[in-house]
Amino acid sequence: MALRRPELGKIGIWTNILDQVSSAAAIEYCQEAQALGYGAVWIPEAVGRDPFVTACRMLGGTESLVLATGIANIYARDAMTMANTLRSIEEAFPARFLLGLGVSHHHLVEWVRKHDYSKPLSFMSSYLELMGKAKFLAVGPEELPEIVLAALGPKMLQLAATDTGGAHPYFVPPEHTAMARQTMGPDAALYPEQMVVLEEDPHVARAIARKHMERYCGLPNYANNLVRLGYERDEIENMSDKVVDAIVAWGSSETIKTRVDEHFRAGADHVCIQVLEDTPDQVVEGWQRLAPYLIS
């Protein structure tokens, strides 16, 4: 199914700050990420700018950086639109865009977008099949470029391995990376996200982490995934130190590198770090501080 695999490098950035600034400023941030040596910038889709418009703006303002969606919501577009948007970006920016697809969450799909979320796994499977059959009558690739799935549980991970290039797990500790690698086998791509806080005081670091984790711990997809890994429901709901320390790497740049290396030892091919800070400029400062430690 995949035309080719973009060269993401070993370390990328996951960020939502591009929606918090003007498009011109966002391009400058991506130029900085490229200059620092990060291979890819991953961007989300929820209720902000269209991620494909953003990706094209960022790709046009950089030379080698890969833009990836982490993730594009399959309920936001029909399969033909998604497939041919992917082909269109590939034609314009060959091997510089990676489509990460996901089923999002119940509240965003049913309450915000007014779609049926009753069978997300089967919907994804059918969606991928329809993408593969989508007609495309413009100049561009006949084959679809590589796709990865926002997979957490075993069934979605298996689908990612059999029907796409691999998986982009979000909000996961290294033990999930090990489980995902075992589930998908040695050949599927595995690109986990890792939240980080550059703060060595444990009370301050965990407070910053909890502020950013709160929205995710209340979502069934993420909570259920942590339960599968052995965490208790009350630990997740209360964001215990154990859960915080599992999800967020905090401390010095050296400590954060140690956590990133744990993902690689567990089977990751690429790790995208998400710096947790209050302002976009502070996030970029985090990229700058970490680059000498993470990028060889």
In a domain, 218, yes or no: no
Domain CATH for 95 = 3.20.20.30
User: What pLDDT score does 105 carry?
Assistant: 77
Burial 134-173 (b: 16+ CB within 10 A, else e): bebeeeeeeebbbbbbbbbbeebbbbbbebbbbbbbbbbb
| pLDDT above 80 (res 194) | yes
Say if residue 2's pLDDT is above 60. no
Domain containing residue 97: 11-194+269-294
Is there a domain that residue 237 lies in? no
* Residue matched to tokens 């269109």: 88
In a domain, 130, yes or no: yes
Contacts of 149 (CB under 8 A, 6+ apart): 71, 100, 101, 102, 124, 156, 159, 160, 164, 166, 167, 168
Tokens of 21: 């600034």
Q: Is 240 part of a structural domain of the chain?
A: no
Q: Is residue 221 part of a domain?
A: no
Give how many domains the chain has, as a whole number: 1
| Matching residue, tokens 């030379």 | 63
Average pLDDT across the chain, whole number: 96
Q: Is residue 249 part of a domain?
A: no
Asked if residue 1 has pLDDT above 80, the reply is no
Chain segment 132-188, per-residue pLDDT in tens: 999 999 999 999 999 999 999 999 999 999 999 999 999 999 999 999 999 999 999
Query: Tell me: the pLDDT tens digits for 17-44?
Result: 999 999 999 999 999 999 999 999 999 9
Two tokens at 18?
């591009």
Residue 108: predicted pLDDT? 78
Would you place residue 4 in the very low, low, confident or very high pLDDT band (cuts 50, 70, 90)?
low
Q: Is 211 among the domain residues?
A: no
Q: Give tens-digit pLDDT for 249-295.
A: 999 999 999 999 999 999 999 999 999 999 999 999 999 999 999 99
d(C-alpha 143, C-alpha 6), whole Å: 14
**Domain assignment present for 36:** yes
Residue 111's pLDDT is 78
